[in-house]
Structure 1
Amino acid sequence: MSKTTRRTFTISMLALLAACGRPQQTTKFQRYSGPPITQIQVNKGQRRMHLFSGSTVVRSYDISLGNQPVGHKQFEGDGKTPEGIYHIDRFNPRSAFHLSVGISYPNPNDRAFAEAHGRNPGGDIFIHGRGPQGNHLFPQARDWTAGCIAVTDEEIQEIYAMLQPRTPVVIYP
């Protein structure tokens, strides 16, 4: 075997081995086979979210909140994360924030309060990943959303798989 042929063979084999070592394409959609999640509790003051099955905490996450984290969301554009009892009402696989799970804000009380003040209560509150925008802002801006609850992209993949429609969401101050 000539020097050139040997070199070409060696380079070809290295390229083949490198191709074999590439990670496989992963999907953002996961499967979950653990206990059913029966409630989500969000503690805004601690910046923590807990997923429960009955009285057992299955998983906990550090979270980011709206850019005005203190107080209950009352009006569109106030930058606050709601407080109270809601439920999961939709799933968005095409979210700008990787994946997102909708929270049923505003509830009838939220709507009535905003109407009494001649304002719009807002909406589109989600638990979502960071996506490119949040990854760019975090960690310099701890609370950067418009009122949503944000986790990492990897964590929202897990959460998205664990939740079912109508799962209660309790958000504490």
Structure 2
Amino acid sequence: MRKKFIVLAALIISLFVYTKLMAKIGSGSPPPDAPLEQRADLIRVYKAERRMVLLRGDAPISTYRVSLGMAADEGPKQREGDEKTPEGRYEIDWRNPRSMAHLSLHISYPSPDDRRNAEAGGFPPGGNIMIHGLPNGWGLFGNAHQLLDWTDGCIAVTNSEMRDIWARVPNHTPIEIVP
């Protein structure tokens, strides 16, 4: 029994070290911007359907299956650490080509209302809600990540999808996240 515990502990430590090392290495160079006619002017996320759609005008230009926060089905994000994905209208306000996940686009959560509601309950609202790929070094899992919600409130896609989204979504693109 002790030997199994030691092997399991070594495996967990190795996975932790691997993940931390890959996070420091980063995800490489981001893709170039897509041509103007292929860029989105709105992102809409349907939480119940685990679906994200990039729109140009009223026309969908790309659709992705997503994983959300582990408690996404319990309503909108209310406070830091609740593992819920926010609901509402935000924008993509900055991007991180060197994130611990394969590229990431920051969602402007918390809004002033989100902040007020959390603080009224005596909690910090949280933040760092992103659209991102898989953790660096874990891209081989591909679509398998969609089998369950695993983020802390973010919206996750495959690495190849994240490269496509990165190229098609400029900063300040509005994002609507609906139940």
Name the TM-score class by shorter chain: 0.7 to 0.9
Looking at structure 1, the residues matched to 34 and 71 of structure 2 have their Cα atoms a distance apart, in angstroms, of 33
For 1:143, which of 139, 143, 149 is the aligned residue?
149
Is structure 2 residue 173 aligned with structure 1 residue 167? yes
TM-score of the superposition, structure 1-length normalised? Answer: 0.79
Looking at structure 2, the residues matched to 119 and 100 of structure 1 have their Cα atoms a distance apart, in angstroms, of 26
Residue of structure 2 in register with 1:15 after alignment: none
Amino acid in the other structure paired with 1:153: N
Residue of structure 2 in register with 1:67 after alignment: 70
The verdict on how the C-alpha distance between 1:40 and 1:29 changes in structure 2, with shifts beyond 3 A counting, is same
Which contiguous aligned blocks of 4+ residues in structure 1 show a shift greater than 4 angstroms? 133-138
The verdict on how the C-alpha distance between 1:169 and 1:116 changes in structure 2, with shifts beyond 3 A counting, is same
State which structure, 1 or 2, has the greater radius of gyration over its C-alpha atoms: 1
Amino acid in the other structure paired with 2:111: N
Amino acid in the other structure paired with 1:147: G
Residue of structure 1 in register with 2:47 after alignment: 44
Q: Is the 8 A contact 2:118 2:124 kept in 1?
A: yes
Q: Please report the RMSD computed on the Cα atoms of aligned residues, expressed in angstroms.
A: 2.0
Looking at structure 1, the residues matched to 103 and 93 of structure 2 have their Cα atoms a distance apart, in angstroms, of 14
Amino acid in the other structure paired with 1:59: S
In structure 2, the gaps of 5 or more residues are 1-27
The verdict on how the C-alpha distance between 1:135 and 1:171 changes in structure 2, with shifts beyond 3 A counting, is farther
- Tell me the number of residue pairs that the alignment of Structure 1 and Structure 2 aligns: 148
The verdict on how the C-alpha distance between 1:37 and 1:146 changes in structure 2, with shifts beyond 3 A counting, is same
Looking at structure 2, the residues matched to 140 and 46 of structure 1 have their Cα atoms a distance apart, in angstroms, of 12
The verdict on how the C-alpha distance between 1:129 and 1:93 changes in structure 2, with shifts beyond 3 A counting, is same
Shift of residue 127 of structure 1? 0.3
For 2:31, which of 24, 29, 32 is the aligned residue?
29
For 1:155, which of 148, 158, 161 is the aligned residue?
161
Shift of residue 29 of structure 1? 1.7
Shift of residue 112 of structure 1? 0.2
Shift of residue 142 of structure 1? 1.3
1:3-31: CA deviation from partner (whole Å, max 9, x where unpaired)? xxxxxxxxxxxxxxxxxxxxxxx954234
Looking at structure 1, the residues matched to 57 and 47 of structure 2 have their Cα atoms a distance apart, in angstroms, of 21
In structure 1, the gaps of 5 or more residues are 1-25
More helix, by proportion? 2
TM-score of the superposition, structure 2-length normalised? Answer: 0.77
The verdict on how the C-alpha distance between 1:149 and 1:134 changes in structure 2, with shifts beyond 3 A counting, is farther
Say which SS state the counterpart of residue 40 (structure 1) adopts. Answer: strand
Residue of structure 1 in register with 2:127 after alignment: 123
Residue of structure 1 in register with 2:61 after alignment: 58
1:86-131: CA deviation from partner (whole Å, max 9, x where unpaired)? 0000000001111000000000000000110110000000000012
Say which SS state the counterpart of residue 79 (structure 2) adopts. Answer: coil
